[in-house]
Amino acid sequence: MTARLPARRREVSAARPAPPAAPPAVSAIKARQRDRCAERAEHQRDDDDLDAYIKEMIASAPPLTSEQRDKLALLLHPRRRTR
C-alpha cells in the first residue's frame, strides 16, 4: 500500500494580480513617447547652454559706437518712403 500525501492547497495571495501585459504595439508607442520626451529634455538643455553662451558673448562685447547704433537702427527700422 502506498502512502498518500495530502493534497496541496493553493495559496491565495493578498496582493493584487499583475496587470496584463500591454500589446506590443502599445509598448512600442510608449517607448517612442519616452524617447521623444528625453530628446525634448536634451534639446532644452542645449537651448539653455546656447542662451548662456549668447549672454556671455553679449556681456563680453564692447559697447556700440554712436555710428554703429545709427546703422543698426536703420537696419531694424527702415524709413518708409512717402508718396
Amino acid 70: pLDDT: 93
Instruction: Give the chain's mean pLDDT.
Output: 78
pLDDT score of 2 more than 80: no
pLDDT over 90 (residue 68): yes
Q: Average pLDDT in the 41-49 region? A: 76
In order, the DSSP letters of 16-79 are: PPPPPPPPHHHHHHHHHHHHHHHHHHHHHHHHHHHHHHHHHHHHHSPPPPHHHHHHHHHHHSPP
Tell whether the model's pLDDT for residue 50 goes beyond 80: yes
